[in-house]
Amino acid sequence: MTDLLGTPGGDAPAVTVGDETLSRRELFGRAAAVAAEIAGAEAVAVHADASAATIAAVVGGLLAGVPVVPLPPDSGPAERAHILGDSGAALLLATRADAPADGPPLVPLDDLPSAAVPAAAPAPDATALILYTSGTTGAPKGVLVSRSAIAAGLDALAAAWDWTGGDVLVHGLPLFHVHGLVLGVLGALRVGSPVIHTGWPRPDAYAEAAGRGGTLFFGVPTVWSRLAADPGAAAALRGARLLVSGSAPLPVPVFERVAELTGHRPVERYGMTETLITVSARADGPRRPGRVGTPLPGVRTRLAAEDGTPVPHDGETPGELHVQAPTLFDGYLNRPDATAAAFTADGWFRTGDIAAVEPDGTHRIVGRASTDLIKSGGYRIGAGEIEDALLAHPGVREAAVIGTPHDDLGEQVTAFVVADGASAGELTEFVASRLSVHKRPRAVHLVDSLPRNAMGKVVKSRLR
Protein backbone atom coordinates (compact mmCIF):
# COMPACT_ATOMS: atom_id res chain seq x y z
CA MET A 1 0.00 0.00 0.00
CA THR A 2 2.04 2.94 -1.25
CA ASP A 3 -0.46 5.04 -3.23
CA LEU A 4 -1.54 7.42 -0.44
CA LEU A 5 0.12 6.62 2.87
CA GLY A 6 3.58 5.41 1.90
CA THR A 7 5.11 2.07 2.81
CA PRO A 8 3.65 0.24 5.82
CA GLY A 9 6.87 -1.19 7.27
CA GLY A 10 9.53 0.16 9.59
CA ASP A 11 10.15 0.05 13.32
CA ALA A 12 11.03 3.71 13.90
CA PRO A 13 8.38 5.79 15.73
CA ALA A 14 5.65 6.98 13.37
CA VAL A 15 2.87 8.29 15.61
CA THR A 16 2.98 9.45 19.21
CA VAL A 17 -0.21 10.49 20.98
CA GLY A 18 0.17 11.19 24.65
CA ASP A 19 2.09 8.28 26.18
CA GLU A 20 1.49 5.88 23.28
CA THR A 21 3.93 5.53 20.40
CA LEU A 22 3.42 3.30 17.38
CA SER A 23 5.91 2.41 14.70
CA ARG A 24 4.73 2.30 11.10
CA ARG A 25 4.68 -1.51 11.32
CA GLU A 26 2.53 -1.43 14.47
CA LEU A 27 0.21 1.28 13.13
CA PHE A 28 -0.40 -0.42 9.80
CA GLY A 29 -0.81 -3.79 11.50
CA ARG A 30 -3.59 -2.41 13.72
CA ALA A 31 -5.08 -0.58 10.75
CA ALA A 32 -5.09 -3.78 8.69
CA ALA A 33 -7.10 -5.50 11.43
CA VAL A 34 -9.63 -2.65 11.22
CA ALA A 35 -9.70 -3.01 7.44
CA ALA A 36 -10.55 -6.69 7.74
CA GLU A 37 -13.46 -5.93 10.07
CA ILE A 38 -15.04 -3.25 7.86
CA ALA A 39 -14.37 -4.62 4.37
CA GLY A 40 -17.34 -4.03 2.06
CA ALA A 41 -19.07 -1.40 4.21
CA GLU A 42 -20.46 1.64 2.38
CA ALA A 43 -19.01 4.01 4.98
CA VAL A 44 -17.78 3.87 8.57
CA ALA A 45 -17.81 6.50 11.31
CA VAL A 46 -14.82 7.00 13.60
CA HIS A 47 -15.05 8.48 17.08
CA ALA A 48 -12.28 10.94 16.26
CA ASP A 49 -10.73 11.80 19.59
CA ALA A 50 -7.01 12.49 19.95
CA SER A 51 -5.77 8.92 20.24
CA ALA A 52 -3.67 6.32 18.48
CA ALA A 53 -6.85 4.27 18.14
CA THR A 54 -8.44 7.01 16.04
CA ILE A 55 -5.43 7.15 13.74
CA ALA A 56 -5.41 3.36 13.32
CA ALA A 57 -9.14 3.43 12.55
CA VAL A 58 -8.80 6.11 9.88
CA VAL A 59 -5.84 4.35 8.27
CA GLY A 60 -7.82 1.12 8.39
CA GLY A 61 -10.63 2.71 6.43
CA LEU A 62 -8.16 3.94 3.84
CA LEU A 63 -6.59 0.48 3.55
CA ALA A 64 -10.02 -1.08 3.04
CA GLY A 65 -11.19 1.54 0.55
CA VAL A 66 -14.15 2.36 2.80
CA PRO A 67 -15.07 6.06 3.17
CA VAL A 68 -14.29 7.30 6.68
CA VAL A 69 -16.60 9.73 8.49
CA PRO A 70 -14.72 11.43 11.36
CA LEU A 71 -17.17 12.08 14.19
CA PRO A 72 -16.31 14.96 16.55
CA PRO A 73 -15.99 13.45 20.02
CA ASP A 74 -17.86 16.36 21.60
CA SER A 75 -20.76 16.33 19.13
CA GLY A 76 -24.16 16.55 20.77
CA PRO A 77 -26.91 13.98 20.17
CA ALA A 78 -28.58 15.96 17.36
CA GLU A 79 -25.34 16.63 15.47
CA ARG A 80 -24.17 13.03 15.92
CA ALA A 81 -27.51 11.64 14.73
CA HIS A 82 -27.44 13.92 11.66
CA ILE A 83 -23.90 12.92 10.65
CA LEU A 84 -24.48 9.21 11.20
CA GLY A 85 -27.82 9.23 9.40
CA ASP A 86 -26.76 11.47 6.51
CA SER A 87 -23.49 9.64 5.86
CA GLY A 88 -25.03 6.18 5.89
CA ALA A 89 -22.23 4.94 8.13
CA ALA A 90 -22.83 1.22 8.62
CA LEU A 91 -20.40 0.82 11.52
CA LEU A 92 -18.91 2.92 14.30
CA LEU A 93 -15.22 2.54 15.14
CA ALA A 94 -14.50 3.45 18.75
CA THR A 95 -13.23 2.03 22.00
CA ARG A 96 -15.91 0.49 24.18
CA ALA A 97 -15.60 3.35 26.67
CA ASP A 98 -16.27 5.96 23.96
CA ALA A 99 -19.11 4.22 22.16
CA PRO A 100 -22.52 5.93 22.53
CA ALA A 101 -25.52 3.87 23.52
CA ASP A 102 -27.23 4.54 20.20
CA GLY A 103 -25.92 4.52 16.65
CA PRO A 104 -24.66 1.88 14.22
CA PRO A 105 -23.03 -1.39 15.33
CA LEU A 106 -19.73 -0.96 17.13
CA VAL A 107 -16.36 -2.24 15.95
CA PRO A 108 -14.38 -1.99 19.19
CA LEU A 109 -10.84 -0.74 18.79
CA ASP A 110 -9.68 -2.07 22.17
CA ASP A 111 -8.50 -5.57 21.37
CA LEU A 112 -7.92 -5.83 17.63
CA PRO A 113 -4.85 -7.94 16.79
CA SER A 114 -2.25 -7.04 14.21
CA ALA A 115 -2.96 -8.21 10.67
CA ALA A 116 -1.35 -8.27 7.24
CA VAL A 117 -1.75 -5.14 5.14
CA PRO A 118 -3.93 -5.68 2.04
CA ALA A 119 -1.86 -5.95 -1.12
CA ALA A 120 -4.33 -4.19 -3.42
CA ALA A 121 -4.80 -0.43 -3.21
CA PRO A 122 -8.21 1.20 -3.80
CA ALA A 123 -8.72 3.26 -6.94
CA PRO A 124 -7.29 6.81 -6.79
CA ASP A 125 -10.70 8.38 -7.45
CA ALA A 126 -12.36 6.46 -4.60
CA THR A 127 -13.80 8.51 -1.74
CA ALA A 128 -11.38 8.52 1.19
CA LEU A 129 -13.17 10.78 3.65
CA ILE A 130 -16.61 12.27 4.20
CA LEU A 131 -15.91 15.44 6.17
CA TYR A 132 -18.79 17.43 7.57
CA THR A 133 -18.85 21.21 7.32
CA SER A 134 -19.45 23.40 10.35
CA GLY A 135 -23.08 23.92 9.43
CA THR A 136 -23.05 27.71 9.81
CA THR A 137 -25.70 28.03 7.08
CA GLY A 138 -27.86 25.02 7.95
CA ALA A 139 -27.30 21.39 8.81
CA PRO A 140 -23.70 20.22 8.21
CA LYS A 141 -23.08 18.90 4.70
CA GLY A 142 -20.95 15.85 3.94
CA VAL A 143 -17.96 16.75 1.76
CA LEU A 144 -16.71 13.90 -0.44
CA VAL A 145 -12.89 13.95 -0.58
CA SER A 146 -11.11 11.52 -2.89
CA ARG A 147 -7.80 9.77 -2.38
CA SER A 148 -6.33 11.56 -5.40
CA ALA A 149 -7.33 14.97 -4.04
CA ILE A 150 -5.61 14.24 -0.73
CA ALA A 151 -2.47 12.95 -2.47
CA ALA A 152 -2.28 16.00 -4.75
CA GLY A 153 -2.74 18.40 -1.86
CA LEU A 154 -0.17 16.74 0.39
CA ASP A 155 2.45 16.53 -2.36
CA ALA A 156 2.01 20.22 -3.15
CA LEU A 157 2.43 21.16 0.51
CA ALA A 158 5.45 18.92 0.95
CA ALA A 159 7.12 20.77 -1.92
CA ALA A 160 6.05 24.20 -0.66
CA TRP A 161 7.25 23.58 2.89
CA ASP A 162 10.28 21.39 2.10
CA TRP A 163 8.53 18.76 4.22
CA THR A 164 10.43 15.46 4.26
CA GLY A 165 10.87 12.31 6.29
CA GLY A 166 13.61 14.10 8.19
CA ASP A 167 11.06 16.33 9.90
CA VAL A 168 9.22 15.62 13.14
CA LEU A 169 5.74 17.15 13.00
CA VAL A 170 4.16 18.50 16.19
CA HIS A 171 0.56 19.60 16.70
CA GLY A 172 -2.36 19.21 19.08
CA LEU A 173 -5.23 19.82 16.65
CA PRO A 174 -8.56 17.94 16.47
CA LEU A 175 -8.55 14.82 14.32
CA PHE A 176 -11.87 15.46 12.60
CA HIS A 177 -10.82 18.42 10.42
CA VAL A 178 -8.56 18.88 7.40
CA HIS A 179 -5.88 20.64 9.44
CA GLY A 180 -5.39 18.06 12.17
CA LEU A 181 -6.29 14.87 10.30
CA VAL A 182 -5.41 15.30 6.63
CA LEU A 183 -2.37 17.55 7.03
CA GLY A 184 -1.42 16.59 10.55
CA VAL A 185 -1.66 12.79 10.26
CA LEU A 186 -2.05 11.67 6.64
CA GLY A 187 0.51 14.25 5.50
CA ALA A 188 3.07 12.99 7.98
CA LEU A 189 2.44 9.37 6.99
CA ARG A 190 2.73 10.19 3.28
CA VAL A 191 6.06 12.03 3.54
CA GLY A 192 7.37 9.64 6.20
CA SER A 193 7.86 12.13 9.01
CA PRO A 194 7.04 11.08 12.59
CA VAL A 195 4.17 13.00 14.17
CA ILE A 196 3.84 13.93 17.84
CA HIS A 197 0.27 14.80 18.80
CA THR A 198 0.38 16.79 22.03
CA GLY A 199 -3.21 16.01 23.02
CA TRP A 200 -3.96 19.68 23.55
CA PRO A 201 -2.38 22.60 21.65
CA ARG A 202 -0.77 24.20 24.73
CA PRO A 203 2.41 26.28 24.58
CA ASP A 204 4.08 24.12 27.22
CA ALA A 205 3.21 20.95 25.28
CA TYR A 206 4.71 22.42 22.10
CA ALA A 207 7.83 23.46 24.01
CA GLU A 208 8.18 19.96 25.47
CA ALA A 209 7.78 18.41 22.00
CA ALA A 210 10.45 20.75 20.68
CA GLY A 211 12.80 19.17 23.19
CA ARG A 212 11.97 15.77 21.69
CA GLY A 213 13.14 16.79 18.25
CA GLY A 214 10.12 18.60 16.83
CA THR A 215 10.98 20.55 13.66
CA LEU A 216 7.64 21.34 12.02
CA PHE A 217 4.83 22.84 14.12
CA PHE A 218 1.17 23.27 13.10
CA GLY A 219 -1.22 25.53 14.98
CA VAL A 220 -4.34 27.64 14.70
CA PRO A 221 -4.10 31.35 15.61
CA THR A 222 -5.25 30.68 19.17
CA VAL A 223 -2.21 28.42 19.67
CA TRP A 224 0.20 31.05 18.37
CA SER A 225 -1.49 33.78 20.40
CA ARG A 226 -1.00 31.77 23.57
CA LEU A 227 2.57 30.99 22.61
CA ALA A 228 3.21 34.71 22.04
CA ALA A 229 2.09 35.31 25.62
CA ASP A 230 4.52 32.69 26.97
CA PRO A 231 8.10 33.81 26.13
CA GLY A 232 9.65 30.77 27.80
CA ALA A 233 7.68 28.29 25.70
CA ALA A 234 8.20 30.38 22.59
CA ALA A 235 11.96 30.38 23.06
CA ALA A 236 11.93 26.58 23.03
CA LEU A 237 10.77 26.71 19.39
CA ARG A 238 13.85 28.57 18.19
CA GLY A 239 15.35 25.25 17.11
CA ALA A 240 12.35 24.42 14.91
CA ARG A 241 12.50 24.51 11.12
CA LEU A 242 9.04 25.84 10.29
CA LEU A 243 5.94 27.15 12.08
CA VAL A 244 2.67 26.89 10.15
CA SER A 245 -0.58 28.71 10.98
CA GLY A 246 -3.96 28.01 9.46
CA SER A 247 -7.73 27.46 9.84
CA ALA A 248 -8.27 31.19 10.55
CA PRO A 249 -6.40 34.45 9.90
CA LEU A 250 -3.33 35.01 12.09
CA PRO A 251 -3.53 38.52 13.60
CA VAL A 252 -0.62 40.70 12.52
CA PRO A 253 0.51 41.50 16.11
CA VAL A 254 0.60 37.78 16.92
CA PHE A 255 2.62 37.08 13.76
CA GLU A 256 5.14 39.76 14.72
CA ARG A 257 5.38 38.66 18.36
CA VAL A 258 5.88 34.99 17.43
CA ALA A 259 8.58 36.00 14.96
CA GLU A 260 10.30 38.07 17.65
CA LEU A 261 10.22 35.34 20.30
CA THR A 262 10.96 32.28 18.14
CA GLY A 263 13.06 33.72 15.34
CA HIS A 264 10.62 32.22 12.81
CA ARG A 265 8.18 34.12 10.61
CA PRO A 266 5.14 31.78 10.47
CA VAL A 267 3.99 30.28 7.20
CA GLU A 268 0.31 31.02 6.58
CA ARG A 269 -1.86 29.06 4.18
CA TYR A 270 -5.47 29.03 3.01
CA GLY A 271 -7.94 26.28 2.25
CA MET A 272 -11.38 24.85 2.91
CA THR A 273 -12.86 21.43 3.57
CA GLU A 274 -14.09 21.44 -0.03
CA THR A 275 -10.74 22.44 -1.56
CA LEU A 276 -8.09 21.26 0.91
CA ILE A 277 -5.13 23.68 0.93
CA THR A 278 -4.85 25.76 -2.24
CA VAL A 279 -2.73 28.82 -1.35
CA SER A 280 0.35 29.00 0.86
CA ALA A 281 3.51 30.89 1.67
CA ARG A 282 6.67 28.92 0.97
CA ALA A 283 9.46 27.73 3.22
CA ASP A 284 11.98 29.42 0.93
CA GLY A 285 9.89 32.48 0.10
CA PRO A 286 8.59 35.66 1.73
CA ARG A 287 6.22 35.32 4.69
CA ARG A 288 4.26 38.51 5.17
CA PRO A 289 1.78 39.09 8.00
CA GLY A 290 -1.81 39.15 6.82
CA ARG A 291 -0.95 37.30 3.59
CA VAL A 292 -1.44 33.60 2.83
CA GLY A 293 0.98 33.32 -0.06
CA THR A 294 0.41 32.24 -3.65
CA PRO A 295 -1.45 29.33 -5.29
CA LEU A 296 0.11 25.89 -5.00
CA PRO A 297 1.14 23.99 -8.15
CA GLY A 298 -1.91 22.98 -10.19
CA VAL A 299 -4.15 25.54 -8.47
CA ARG A 300 -5.79 28.44 -10.33
CA THR A 301 -7.62 31.29 -8.60
CA ARG A 302 -9.59 34.31 -9.68
CA LEU A 303 -11.63 37.10 -8.08
CA ALA A 304 -15.18 37.94 -9.07
CA ALA A 305 -17.46 40.84 -8.22
CA GLU A 306 -21.05 40.24 -7.15
CA ASP A 307 -22.20 40.50 -10.77
CA GLY A 308 -19.60 37.94 -11.85
CA THR A 309 -17.25 40.38 -13.56
CA PRO A 310 -13.50 40.03 -12.97
CA VAL A 311 -11.85 41.93 -10.12
CA PRO A 312 -8.35 43.30 -10.76
CA HIS A 313 -5.35 41.88 -8.92
CA ASP A 314 -4.30 45.22 -7.49
CA GLY A 315 -3.95 44.18 -3.85
CA GLU A 316 -6.81 46.41 -2.76
CA THR A 317 -10.04 45.55 -4.56
CA PRO A 318 -11.88 42.68 -2.85
CA GLY A 319 -13.81 39.98 -4.67
CA GLU A 320 -15.10 36.48 -4.12
CA LEU A 321 -12.32 33.91 -4.49
CA HIS A 322 -12.95 31.19 -7.07
CA VAL A 323 -10.73 28.10 -7.33
CA GLN A 324 -9.88 25.34 -9.79
CA ALA A 325 -7.57 22.62 -8.45
CA PRO A 326 -6.88 18.88 -8.41
CA THR A 327 -7.69 18.98 -4.70
CA LEU A 328 -11.36 19.90 -5.14
CA PHE A 329 -14.03 17.75 -3.53
CA ASP A 330 -16.34 15.48 -5.49
CA GLY A 331 -19.54 17.12 -4.27
CA TYR A 332 -21.78 17.23 -1.22
CA LEU A 333 -23.19 13.85 -0.21
CA ASN A 334 -26.83 13.50 -1.27
CA ARG A 335 -26.97 17.24 -2.11
CA PRO A 336 -26.81 17.71 -5.88
CA ASP A 337 -28.53 21.09 -5.52
CA ALA A 338 -25.89 22.38 -3.10
CA THR A 339 -23.10 20.91 -5.26
CA ALA A 340 -24.39 22.66 -8.37
CA ALA A 341 -24.76 25.96 -6.52
CA ALA A 342 -21.15 25.75 -5.30
CA PHE A 343 -19.78 26.03 -8.86
CA THR A 344 -19.96 28.73 -11.50
CA ALA A 345 -21.31 28.01 -14.95
CA ASP A 346 -17.76 27.71 -16.27
CA GLY A 347 -16.66 25.24 -13.59
CA TRP A 348 -14.96 27.30 -10.86
CA PHE A 349 -15.64 26.53 -7.19
CA ARG A 350 -17.13 29.47 -5.30
CA THR A 351 -15.31 29.59 -1.98
CA GLY A 352 -17.62 32.18 -0.43
CA ASP A 353 -14.48 33.92 0.85
CA ILE A 354 -13.54 37.48 -0.02
CA ALA A 355 -9.92 38.09 -0.98
CA ALA A 356 -7.62 40.66 -2.52
CA VAL A 357 -4.78 39.53 -4.78
CA GLU A 358 -1.63 41.52 -5.34
CA PRO A 359 0.00 41.86 -8.79
CA ASP A 360 2.58 39.20 -7.88
CA GLY A 361 -0.17 36.71 -7.01
CA THR A 362 0.03 37.04 -3.23
CA HIS A 363 -3.37 36.49 -1.64
CA ARG A 364 -4.89 38.31 1.31
CA ILE A 365 -8.10 36.79 2.71
CA VAL A 366 -10.59 39.45 3.82
CA GLY A 367 -13.16 37.04 5.23
CA ARG A 368 -16.44 35.31 4.44
CA ALA A 369 -18.73 36.99 1.94
CA SER A 370 -21.68 36.36 4.24
CA THR A 371 -20.16 38.00 7.32
CA ASP A 372 -16.94 39.82 6.47
CA LEU A 373 -17.83 41.97 3.47
CA ILE A 374 -19.56 45.05 4.84
CA LYS A 375 -21.48 47.34 2.45
CA SER A 376 -21.66 50.73 4.11
CA GLY A 377 -22.63 53.98 2.43
CA GLY A 378 -21.62 52.72 -1.00
CA TYR A 379 -18.27 51.37 0.20
CA ARG A 380 -17.23 47.70 0.22
CA ILE A 381 -15.27 47.17 3.43
CA GLY A 382 -13.39 44.05 4.51
CA ALA A 383 -13.82 43.18 8.18
CA GLY A 384 -10.34 41.66 8.41
CA GLU A 385 -8.60 44.96 7.68
CA ILE A 386 -10.42 46.65 10.55
CA GLU A 387 -9.75 43.73 12.88
CA ASP A 388 -6.03 44.01 12.12
CA ALA A 389 -6.14 47.74 12.86
CA LEU A 390 -7.86 47.15 16.20
CA LEU A 391 -5.38 44.43 17.14
CA ALA A 392 -2.54 46.88 16.58
CA HIS A 393 -3.75 48.81 19.65
CA PRO A 394 -1.64 47.73 22.64
CA GLY A 395 -4.69 47.28 24.84
CA VAL A 396 -6.62 44.99 22.46
CA ARG A 397 -6.37 41.22 22.91
CA GLU A 398 -9.12 40.03 20.54
CA ALA A 399 -11.34 41.72 17.96
CA ALA A 400 -14.14 40.72 15.61
CA VAL A 401 -15.91 43.03 13.17
CA ILE A 402 -19.25 42.57 11.42
CA GLY A 403 -21.78 44.69 9.57
CA THR A 404 -25.01 45.49 11.37
CA PRO A 405 -28.13 47.20 9.93
CA HIS A 406 -28.08 50.99 9.65
CA ASP A 407 -31.02 53.10 8.41
CA ASP A 408 -28.88 55.48 6.38
CA LEU A 409 -25.74 53.50 5.45
CA GLY A 410 -27.34 50.10 4.89
CA GLU A 411 -24.76 48.53 7.18
CA GLN A 412 -22.47 50.01 9.77
CA VAL A 413 -19.10 48.73 10.91
CA THR A 414 -19.57 47.15 14.35
CA ALA A 415 -16.71 45.84 16.46
CA PHE A 416 -16.64 43.41 19.38
CA VAL A 417 -13.41 43.82 21.31
CA VAL A 418 -11.68 42.16 24.26
CA ALA A 419 -9.46 44.93 25.62
CA ASP A 420 -7.61 46.07 28.72
CA GLY A 421 -7.98 49.74 29.62
CA ALA A 422 -9.21 51.00 26.23
CA SER A 423 -12.50 52.80 25.75
CA ALA A 424 -14.84 52.41 22.79
CA GLY A 425 -14.25 55.98 21.66
CA GLU A 426 -10.49 55.59 21.86
CA LEU A 427 -10.62 52.47 19.69
CA THR A 428 -12.83 54.16 17.10
CA GLU A 429 -10.38 57.04 16.77
CA PHE A 430 -7.44 54.64 16.70
CA VAL A 431 -8.86 52.87 13.65
CA ALA A 432 -9.78 56.16 11.95
CA SER A 433 -6.19 57.34 12.39
CA ARG A 434 -4.84 54.24 10.59
CA LEU A 435 -7.46 53.56 7.92
CA SER A 436 -9.90 55.54 5.79
CA VAL A 437 -12.43 57.33 7.95
CA HIS A 438 -15.36 55.41 6.44
CA LYS A 439 -13.79 52.21 7.83
CA ARG A 440 -13.94 53.30 11.46
CA PRO A 441 -16.30 51.31 13.69
CA ARG A 442 -19.50 53.20 14.39
CA ALA A 443 -20.24 50.88 17.29
CA VAL A 444 -17.70 49.23 19.59
CA HIS A 445 -18.82 46.63 22.14
CA LEU A 446 -16.31 45.77 24.86
CA VAL A 447 -16.78 42.10 25.78
CA ASP A 448 -15.08 39.53 28.00
CA SER A 449 -14.56 36.96 25.24
CA LEU A 450 -15.46 36.07 21.65
CA PRO A 451 -17.39 32.92 20.71
CA ARG A 452 -15.11 30.42 18.95
CA ASN A 453 -15.45 26.95 17.48
CA ALA A 454 -13.12 23.97 17.97
CA MET A 455 -10.63 25.31 15.41
CA GLY A 456 -10.39 28.71 17.06
CA LYS A 457 -12.49 30.56 14.50
CA VAL A 458 -14.77 33.30 15.78
CA VAL A 459 -18.41 32.32 15.23
CA LYS A 460 -19.69 35.67 13.99
CA SER A 461 -23.29 34.53 13.68
CA ARG A 462 -23.38 34.45 17.48
CA LEU A 463 -22.22 38.04 17.66
CA ARG A 464 -25.32 39.15 15.81
Q: Which of 434, 374, 378 is nearest to 400 (CA)?
A: 374
Q: CB atoms < 10 A from the CB of 74, how many?
A: 11
- Dist. CA 370–CA 372, nearest whole Å: 6
Q: Is 110 exposed, middle or buried (0-12, 13-18, 19+ CB in 10 A)?
A: exposed
In this prediction, residue 230 carries a pLDDT of: 96
Domain ranges of the chain: 373-462
Yes or no: say if 417 and 427 are a contact pair by the CB < 8 Å rule. Answer: yes
- Dist. CA 124–CA 126, nearest whole Å: 6
What counts of helices (H) and strands (E) characterise the chain? 12, 24
Q: 199's torsion region: left (phi>0), alpha (psi -120 to 50) or beta?
A: left
Yes or no: say if 443 and 416 are a contact pair by the CB < 8 Å rule. Answer: no
Tell me the longest C-alpha to C-alpha distance in the chain: 69
Higher pLDDT, 76 or 29: 29
Q: What is the mean pLDDT of the chain?
A: 92
Q: In what order do the strands lie in the sheet with 349-357?
A: 300-304, 319-324, 349-357, 363-368
Q: CB atoms < 10 A from the CB of 448, how many?
A: 6
Q: Say if residue 139's pLDDT is above 90.
A: no
In this prediction, residue 376 carries a pLDDT of: 83
Q: Say if residue 116's pLDDT is above 70.
A: yes
Percentage, residues of the chain above pLDDT 70: 97
Q: Say if residue 31's pLDDT is above 60.
A: yes
pLDDT level of residue 463 (50, 70, 90 thresholds): confident
Name the least confident of 296-300, 372-376, 402-406. Answer: 372-376
pLDDT level of residue 9 (50, 70, 90 thresholds): confident
What amino acid occupies position 248?
Answer: A
Q: Say if residue 136's pLDDT is above 60.
A: no
Helix (H) or strand (E) holding 205: helix 203-210
pLDDT level of residue 32 (50, 70, 90 thresholds): very high
Q: Which of 397, 400, 414, 404 is nearest to 459 (CA)?
A: 400
- Dist. CA 183–CA 14, nearest whole Å: 15
In this prediction, residue 388 carries a pLDDT of: 84
Q: Read off the pLDDT of residues 279-291 as tens digits, 9 standing for 90 and up.
A: 999 999 999 999 9
What amino acid occupies position 446?
Answer: L
In this prediction, residue 454 carries a pLDDT of: 67
What's the rounded mean pLDDT across residues 56-85? 92
- Dist. CA 305–CA 186, nearest whole Å: 36
What's the rounded mean pLDDT across residues 207-219? 97
- Dist. CA 437–CA 38, nearest whole Å: 61
Strand 169-171 with 216-219, pairing: parallel
In this prediction, residue 437 carries a pLDDT of: 80
What amino acid occupies position 339?
Answer: T
- Dist. CA 214–CA 219, nearest whole Å: 13
- Dist. CA 264–CA 407, nearest whole Å: 47
SS3 254: helix
pLDDT level of residue 1 (50, 70, 90 thresholds): very low
Alpha helices in 90-185 (DSSP H): 147-160
Alpha helices in 348-423 (DSSP H): 383-391
The answer as to CATH 3.40.50.300 being correct for domain 373-462 is no
Q: Read off the pLDDT of residues 225-264 as tens digits, 9 standing for 90 and up.
A: 899 999 999 999 999 999 999 988 888 889 999 999 999 9
What pTM was computed for the model?
Answer: 0.85
Yes or no: say if 455 and 247 are a contact pair by the CB < 8 Å rule. Answer: yes
Name the least confident of 124-128, 177-181, 304-308, 361-365. Answer: 304-308
61 contact partners, CB below 8 Å, separation of at least 6: 34, 35, 38, 44, 46, 67, 68, 93, 128
Q: Say if residue 399's pLDDT is above 50.
A: yes
In this prediction, residue 372 carries a pLDDT of: 76
What's the rounded mean pLDDT across residues 213-218? 98
- The dihedral built from the CA positions of residue 307, 309, 310 and 316, taken in this order, carries a sign that is negative
How far lies 318's CA from each of 172, 302, 353, 435, in Å?
34, 11, 10, 16
Highest mean pLDDT among 285-299, 387-401, 436-450: 285-299
Q: Read off the pLDDT of residues 353-398 as tens digits, 9 standing for 90 and up.
A: 999 999 999 999 988 777 777 878 767 687 887 888 899 899 999 9
- Dist. CA 67–CA 61, nearest whole Å: 6
